[in-house]
Amino acid sequence: MGYLEEMAKYHKSAKQKEFGADFLVKEDIDQYEFWDEIEIGKESELPMKFEVKAEDLVAYAEGVPDDNPIFYDEAYARKCGHDGIVAHPMFGTQVGFFLMRKGHGSWIRTPGARNPGQIIEYYDPIKVGDILTMKIKGHDKWIKRGKYYMRYMTETFDQHGNLKIRYYVTLILPRTREDVLKFLKGEHALQA
Amino acid sequence: MEKKIIFESVNCGDVLPEVRQMVNQEVIWQHAAGSMDYNPVHNNPEWCKTAQVFGLPVTVMHGNQTMSLMCKVVTNWAYPSGGRLKRIESKLVRPVPVDATCIYGATVTEKHPIGKGKDFVTLDIWAKDEQGNTVGVAEAEVYLP
């Protein structure tokens, strides 16, 4: 069984089943943004929406893995003082990958990317029934010790306009399209 | 329910209960499915043999899974009492290869008595492998009732 089939065993939610798990599709990569082309200050509101279902929150918690009942049991979560089952603090990762799959922000999917650490500010808790949209803006890019860093500020809102989280998504990327295409073929293409 | 954690009962220097997690390929694949981060550096063992993004011929754990497990230290401790994260900033300093086991912990470093409903504490969080190497650190601010 190939790795895509292995991962498909864990696809339970409707979004997981619909989302493409192959990040090595050349036609997709051709549409990505690359480090040396990304414009700082460019902003946009992503076209897709993310309607939060309980199964989405459960899928994230299972993937941590974390069996704390606050993520699964609504009655327990309410008894603890929460407004329904809790979104894991890193649930915004699922929202980001779901919404940033094409066009602006698609560099998040880059083969060869490395994660140096993330910054997340929490405002209004994400809960079941929220319909989330995301605004993204090129925030910073820098070179340090030969590595090419990229940071976007993303803001996630619900259908009432409430800011839910501000997530500074940061990655170290291969610098050019040619470098990413080498990774597509399984070749190492980093100088540092 | 566990003993309630409230702002007044927490002190600087308090150490939170640790979390331990072994991460094999199945655990990584399930994290990929939960986060929708299907980057091959985590999921495709054959690709990793030659691509070696981190200089290793094997898959590595997602950095955001390390962050998620650092958060688990906080959610285990504060969320059953109605606490919740206000902010987290992490640095991931070392890749975690498949089949490693890591330990995650935290210490209270600051108390911010802002007012009822706004009081928060600051935590230093760490993640280490079984050899004692730090793989990630974070600073988190956590609202407490």
Q: For residue B69, tell me if it sits in a domain.
A: yes
Averaged pLDDT for residues B21-27:
98
Cβ B47–A109 below 8 Å, yes or no?
Answer: no
The region of weakest confidence among A31-35, A73-77, B7-11, B72-76 is A31-35
Is a pLDDT exceeding 80 seen at residue B1? no
Q: For residue B2, tell me if it sits in a domain.
A: no
Report d(CA B101, CA B19) in Å as an integer.
11
Residues of B in contact with A80 (CB under 8 A): 1, 79-82
Report d(CA A14, CA A163) in Å as an integer.
25
Q: Which of residues 5-34 of B touch A (CB under 8 A)?
A: 21, 25-27, 29-34
Q: Which residue has the tokens 């754990």?
A: B61
What pLDDT score does A123 carry? 98
Are the C-beta atoms of B106 and B81 separated by less than 8 Å?
no
Interface check B42 vs A, CB under 8 A: no
Return all residues near B128 (Cβ < 8 A) that are at least 6 apart. Answer: B102, B103, B134, B135
What pLDDT score does A103 carry? 87
Q: Which of residues 73-132 of B touch A (CB under 8 A)?
A: 74-76, 79-82, 84-92
Q: For residue B29, tell me if it sits in a domain.
A: no
Q: For residue B31, tell me if it sits in a domain.
A: no
**Structure token pair of residue B109:** 């470093």
Q: For residue B83, tell me if it sits in a domain.
A: yes
**Structure token pair of residue A121:** 């500010």
Averaged pLDDT for residues B29-33:
97
The interface pTM score, or ipTM, of the predicted complex is 0.97
Interface check B144 vs A, CB under 8 A: no
For chain A, give the secondary structure using H, E and C: CCHHHHHHCCCCCHHHHHCCCCCCCHHHHCCCCCHHHCCCCCEEECCCCEECCHHHHHHHHHHCCCCCHHHCCHHHHHHCCCCCCCCCCCCHHHHHHHHCCCCCCHHHHCCCCECCCCEEEECCCCCCCCEEEEEEEEEEEEEECCEEEEEEEEEEECCCCCEEEEEEEEEEECCCHHHHHHHHCCCCCCCC
> Among B25, B44, B76, whose Cβ lies nearest the Cβ of A68?
B76
Q: Distance between alpha carbon B111 and the CA centroid of its chain, in Å?
A: 21
What pLDDT score does A1 carry? 81
Report d(CA A38, CA A47) in Å as an integer.
19
What pLDDT score does A102 carry? 86
**Shortest distance, CA B35 to any CA of chain A (angstroms):** 4
Residues of A in contact with B91 (CB under 8 A): 116-117
Query: Which one of A90, A118, A183 makes the best mutation probe of the B interface by having the most chain B beta carbons within 10 Å?
Result: A90
- Residue A151 bridge partners (DSSP): A140, A170
What pLDDT score does A93 carry? 98
Q: What is the CATH number for B89?
A: 3.10.129.10
Q: Give percent of chain B with pLDDT exceeding 70.
A: 99
Domain total of chain B:
1
Tens of pLDDT along chain A (192 residues)?
Answer: 899 999 999 999 999 999 999 999 999 998 889 999 999 999 999 999 999 999 999 999 999 999 999 999 999 999 999 999 999 999 999 999 999 988 889 999 999 999 999 999 999 999 999 999 999 999 999 999 999 999 999 999 999 999 999 999 999 999 999 999 999 999 999 888
pLDDT digits (tens, 9 = 90+) for A138-164: 999 999 999 999 999 999 999 999 999
What pLDDT score does B2 carry? 64
Report d(CA A131, CA A158) in Å as an integer.
5
Decide yes or no: CATH 2.60.120.260 for domain A24-52+87-184. Answer: no
Closest Cα to residue A41, out of A120, A127, A137, A110? A137
Q: What is the mean pLDDT of chain B?
A: 97
